[in-house]
Every structure is written in C-alpha cells, then in structure tokens.
Amino acid sequence: MKNRVVTWTLAASALGVGFGWAASAYAADTVKIGLIMAYSGPFADTANQMQAGIDLWLAEHNGEVAGKKVELIKKDTGGPSPDVAKRLAQELVVRDGVDIIAGFTLTPEALGAADVATQAKKFMVVMNAATSVVTEKSPYIARTSLTIPQVNYAFGKWAVEKGGVKQAYTLVADYGPGHDAESSFAKGFKEAGGTVVGADASPVANPDFSAFVQRIKDANPEAVYIFIPGGAQPPAIGKALAERGLTPPKTKLFGQGELTLPEALESMGDTAKGIVTTFHYTMERDDPLNNAFVKAYRDANKNRSPDLFSIGGYDGMHLIDAALKKTNGDTDGDKLIEAAKGMAWDSPRGPVSIDPETRDIIQTVWIREVKEVDGKLQNVVIDSIPNVKDPLHGAAK
Amino acid sequence: MALTETRPMQARAWIRRQSRWSVYEVLFWLAALLPFYFMPTYLTLASQVAIAALFALSVDLILGYAGIITLGHAMFFGLGAYCAGLITKAGWGEPLTGLLIAGAFAALVGWIMSFIIVRVRHLALLMITLGLGLLTAELANSMRWLTGGTDGLQGVDVWPIFGRYDFDLWGYTAYAYALVVLFLGVLLARRLVNSSFGLSLRGVRENLNRMPAIGSPYRRHLQTIYTISAGMAGVAGALLTQTTETVSLDTLSFQRSADVVVMLILGGTGRLYGGILGAIIFMVARDQLSDMNPQYWYFWIGILLVVVVLAMPGGILGGLARLVGKRGA
C-alpha cells in the first residue's frame, strides 16, 4: 500500500501531471457496484440517461441495496470498445474489489466484460446492450433492458394478426441493430402469413431519405416498417414520407419506439399521427407506478423525460437489490445469479421477470399509436402482448 | 540537426554514437518492470499502455522521422487486430505465430498502400490516409459475416503463450508479453533510425527536393518505412486482440488514429521514446481523469495538449531534453 502511493507520487511528479489517487476503505456493510458505460463520446447521452435511472432508484432507497450502503464506481469506455470494457472490468475486480458489475449501454462493452464476469465469478447486470447473444456469453449475466428481436418479432406477428396488414416493405438503418430488427420483424410477419414486398437499408449517419422513400412509393406497399436511430432521423424520414403521401391511414407506418420518442414527435408534427410502434417501455402509459416514476425522474433531471435507458438502469438496480435480499446480503456471484433467476417484479414499464433459463428479461411488449391527446401528440397504448421472451435464444445454435 | 560532418569516418562514428544506449534508456526499461512489483492491480492498464506505445512508435517512424503525416494509421492497427482474431477463429490460437502473421498481413497492405502514399504530400496526404482509414472501417462494418459488424468479432480464443502462460485476470502475462514485444519493437526502431537509411528518411523530412538531387531514391525509402510501420501497427493491434480476446470496429476507428497522433504530439515526435511517453501520459491520464469524472475527462487532455504544444514545441520529451541540456533522451 505504502509502496504504491510512493511509486505513484514519483510517477506523477516525473510526468509533470498530478493525479489524485485515494484508496477507499473496504467495509463489509457496503456493496460496491462497478458501472461500465460510455460516459463520454458520441453515446454519452444514453449513459447519462441510464445513470439518472440508477441515481433515481438509489435516491428513492436511501442509497442502499438490501440494507447496505451502495458505493458506485463509474468507468468510462468512451464508445463501443470491448477491449477497454474488458480492462475496466478487470480493474474493477482486482483493484477496486467490486461485488457486482453493471451498466453496459452498448453491446460490445457487455461482450468484452462477459469473460471477466465468468473468470471472477461476479454477478453482472446488463442494463441496456440489446443484442440477443449477450446473456449467452457468461452464466453470470442477467439483463434488465430488452432485445431487439423480443419487441420486433412479436410486433411482426401482431401486424398481421391484429394490425390487419398482409404485405409490408422494410427500411432499416444499415448497422447491426437495424439488421436484427429487420430480420426479426420479417420473421414474425412471415410466420403469421404476411409477405415482405421489399427490404432496404439506409446509411446510419446523415442519410437522405428521398431516394429510399421514392422506392417505397414505387413498390406501393400496404405498410412500411422502419427502424432508424433516434435523434435527427425520425423527423427527416417523417417529412420525406409525408411529401410523397405515404402517411397513415393510406399507408400504415410501423417502427420501434425510437421513431416516436417525444423529441421526434415534436419536430414531426401532424405527419406522425397514426404511426404504430412497438416498445417495452411507454412513458405516457397511465399506470400509478409509471406516473410516479416519470414524475420523480423529471423532478430530478430538470424536467427531462425518462427513456428506455433510464428504465433499464432503474430496473437493474431493483434486480440487484432484490437478488441481494434473497441471498441475505451475500455478494457471491453464483448465489446472486441463482437468486436473480425467475425473479419477478412490477416495474414502471409493466410486469417483468428474469427467465430462469436464459437470464434474459421477460416483459410485456406495448403496441402504441401516435394520437393527439389534449392538443399534444403522444404514444397511446392500443394493445399489449404479455410475457414476451426473446425469440432467438437457443434458436441461434 | 547537427549533421555537419561530411567525411565518411566521422559519419559512421556519429551513427555509432547515436545508437549507444543512454543511461536514461536503461532506467526507463528498468522502470517498466516496476508495475510487476509495486502496482499489480494496474497491470492490465500497463499492458494496454505498452500496446498503445508500440502503436505510437510505429506512427513515429513515419511521422516523426519520414515526415509522412497520417490520420488513418488505425487502419493497420485494426487489420492486425482482426487478422489475429480471425486466425484464432480458424482454429490456430498460438499467440506468437498469430502475432507474426497479423503483422505480415498489415505490412503487406501497408506496402500496397505505400504506392499511393509516396505520391502525395501535406494536406493531400492527410486526406488520403484519413479516407483510406474510414474506408477500411466502413468495409469491416459492412462485412458482417467476417467481422461481426458493430458487435465485434466473437469467439476469439488465444492459447497460452508457450502452452504455459495463460492470460490471467490480473494481467501478468498480458503485460509481460506486451512489454517484450514493445522492447523488440524499440530495438528494431533504434536500428532503423540510427542508420544511413534512417538519416536519409530525415533528409526526406527536412527537404524532399534535395534528396533526389543527391542521388537518394526517396520514394523507395518512404515505401520501405511505411511498410515497416504498417507491420508494427499491425503487431500492436494483434497484441490487443490477444491480450483482451476481443476485436471490434473500434480498433479501426478514426478516434484511434487521432488519439495516437495526440500521444505523439504530447510526448514529442521523432524521438522514439516520445510516442512511448505520450502513450503512458495519455493512457494513465485517461484512466485517472475518467475515474474522477467519467463524462468530461477529455477536457483535461485537451488542456494538457494545448499547454504542451504552446510551452514545449518538441513535446514533453523535447522539453525534458532541453532541461537536461541534452538532445534526445
């Protein structure tokens, strides 16, 4: 210990850069949770939202899980880099001595850290990272977010069975999540008897949608399924579709929740009316638990609304708390993951549980339609599909 | 540059003097062993510092010595990383041969690219390296069947070194392995720059037009050093793959190309150890600063960069060397 401080002092002065370094005392009545997320870089906002969800849960519970004080150790990956995530996980285990590893806004981060969780036998809670395969990478992983196939496969079936659509055209962003969304929606859609009349992929960054939309118009489908990243793209595609008359009710528009997040709805305006989306969390859903969550979140975050990352973090903390209570505060990885299996609770998003076999979340998929409520556009829940499992687990092998 | 000697005997003596090991160098390598004893919980960080240092060294060879400015060198780092990962997926997880194959592959691509590189200078060079880097990254993204796309390559399995030393959780093997490879890289780089070949590279950097005039085939020299540099960057990438058993698109990213240039500018270009020192400062600062504030740590790196560039034009090593009153530590 002394040597380390001395060496560090020497190193720091030699480099001409001073760093503060303090070891925190280890106490048995605290639980150390290491958070690995992309706090900086282009994905920083998702990490902020997740952190706010975690902080809100802690604030509501006196900063304690299972009666023990929580110490959060935050580590920044800066982006989708599994090598950095793996190193950070190793450091969290060997240097900081954490009991639980959590966070993971991006899939590569979770995949990088998974090996460490296995080697060190640490409970690992994935609070976003939505690629199906993540939970299969380590027997110590449980996930509290969603998988893209989970919400889209069920949605594809719903579109035929209840949405009354027989043929659809798909347009997705040309990257991993986009392809996952396209394949799972198309799978559900075809299994229920629908036909996909065309599939297209647009660039992830700064696409010009006019050519893509023109191709959709030429194909003249009954419905269009869209998956694009949130931010500036939803309004852009909304506008492009409206310009060519491809709007509901003439042409049905389907998508995953990002398409109609509140910010997107604001800039899309009336062209958004009638868009049907699928998601695991609907902020506007009228439910006492959800209303309280949304209100508390807005109060704590300068009126910013919670999103899927916030709810992932919030429920992740709940899972850690509940699992620890079940083990009577024992932080042993094997015991915690056993405790987490089959755990069920009521979340602001609806009833959820952890699948005992895949350690992935089972939850209600909400089908929402954009409608005008009190002069404001909102996602109104029009249907729900309860207890949806990820359809890919086991199927990939 | 005190290259005033003209007679061959003096030139040879000058080269020999330059390639002598200085006491600072010996001290540096001894200090590199310290983490094993005093900071065992920092070994995984130390291994990634060593990898970044090797990468920075490879860029220093072309940027610092030959004057080839680049914003796309992560291309070779990433090619090496993916190559090493794909070899293990094909069923050959032996690390040492994997390292060599990955390095050779990156060098081969570097050699092909060098035909374009030597034809342009300055801003055009910057644009071409940047463009090639971005193209490679996008190519890897679209070849999902091979690279795993945004999720990264899955199923990388590296065998223990010599069949004995497994890559452990603490990072003992990883750091020892990375350090040895870095040392070999420095030996090679020392030999290269302290030779007539190295001098002719500096000649290209200082005055391109005079080199053909004195009969030096500068294009061939530039191609050679670019190929070597690409191979070294590939080895660094392969090291990262092997020590972390992960590969992602991030290895090819523009961010990595830019970071390595930041490291070089911090440490000082054209000094071999400048890139290494820059890598140490950058990675350690990143680690410590992001612990203090995970959101805004890059701010401090920016401040550091501005201060170094304004106060010490030769980088931190250049500044230190001036303090010691001796050129090139």
Question: Consecutive 10-residue runs of chain A (397 residues): their mean pLDDT?
Answer: 47 39 51 92 86 94 90 88 89 91 90 90 92 88 92 92 90 84 92 91 80 90 88 82 85 89 80 89 89 93 89 94 91 92 92 92 92 88 90 57
Domain boundaries, chain A: 30-146+286-359, 148-279+365-388
Q: Provide the residue ranges of all domains of chain B, joining segments of one domain with +.
A: 22-27+40-324
Residue of A24, A37, A76, A92 best to disrupt the B interface, most CBs of B under 10 A: A76
Tell me the per-residue pLDDT of B286-323, one tens digit each, with 9 for 90 and over.
888 888 877 788 888 888 888 888 888 788 888 888 87
Q: Spell out which residues of chain A touch residue B298, defining contact as CB-CB under 8 Å.
A: 40
Give the separation between CA A52 and CA A294, rounded to whole angstroms.
Answer: 12
User: Exposed (0-12), middle (13-18) or buried (19+): which is A214, by Cβ within 10 Å?
Assistant: middle
Alpha helices of chain B — where are they, by DSSP H?
8-18, 23-31, 34-38, 43-60, 74-89, 95-117, 122-142, 144-147, 172-193, 196-206, 210-213, 218-244, 254-267, 273-292, 297-311, 315-324
Output b/e per residue, B199-212; b: 16+ Cβ within 10 A: bbbbbbbeeeeebe
Q: Compute the Cα dihedral for A159, A160, A166, A171 and give only its sign.
A: positive
Q: What is the pLDDT of residue B102?
A: 95
3-state secondary structure of A385: strand
Superfamily of domain A148-279+365-388: Response regulator (3.40.50.2300)
Q: Is B253 on the interface with A (CB under 8 A)?
A: yes
Q: Which of A87, A126, A140, A147 to mutate to test the interface with B (most CBs of B within 10 A)?
A: A87
How much is the pLDDT for B6?
56
Name the strand (E) or helix (H) holding A32. Answer: strand A30-37
Alpha-carbon Rg for chain B, nearest whole angstrom, is 20
Q: What residues does A71 pair with on adjacent strands?
A: A32
A26 interfacial to chain B (CB closer than 8 Å): no
Chain A to chain B, count of Cβ pairs less than 8 Å apart?
Answer: 129
In this predicted model, what pLDDT tens digit does every residue of B83-92 receive, in sequence order?
999 999 888 8
Sign of CA dihedral A73, A76, A80, A81: negative
Q: What confidence score (pLDDT) does residue A206 get? A: 67
**Digit-coded pLDDT (tens) for B243-279:** 988 888 888 988 899 999 989 988 888 888 999 999 9
The pLDDT of B176-183, averaged and rounded, is: 94
Say if the ipTM goes beyond 0.90. no
Q: Look at B326 and B105; give whichever has higher pLDDT.
A: B105
Burial class (CB in 10 A: 0-12, 13-18, 19+), B177: buried
pLDDT tops 80 at residue B214: yes
Q: Give CATH superfamily name and number for A30-146+286-359.
A: Response regulator (3.40.50.2300)
Are A30-146+286-359 and A148-279+365-388 in the same CATH fold?
yes
Confidence class for position B148, pLDDT limits 50, 70, 90: confident
Q: Is the dihedral of CA A328, A329, A330, A334 positive or negative?
A: positive
Helix (H) or strand (E) segment spanning residue A373: strand A361-373
Angstrom distance (rounded) from CA B114 to CA B59: 14
Amino acid letter, residue B46: A
The chain-wide mean pLDDT, for chain B, equals 86
The reported pTM is 0.81
Which residues between 134 and 153 in chain B have a beta carbon less than 8 angstroms from any beta carbon of chain A? 141-142, 144, 149-152
- Give exposure, A269-305, as e/b (b: 16+ Cβ within 10 Å): eebbbbbbbbbbbbbbbeeeebeebbebbeeebeeee
Burial of A171 (0-12, 13-18, 19+ CB in 10 A): buried
Cα distance between residue B212 and residue B218, in whole Å: 7
Cβ–Cβ of B244/A112 closer than 8 Å? yes
pLDDT greater than 70 at residue B8: no
Checking if the pLDDT of B125 tops 70, the result is yes
In angstroms, how far apart are the furthest CA atoms of chain B? 59
Nearest to A94 among B169, B291, B304 (CB): B169
Q: Quick check: A392 contacting B, CB < 8 Å?
A: no
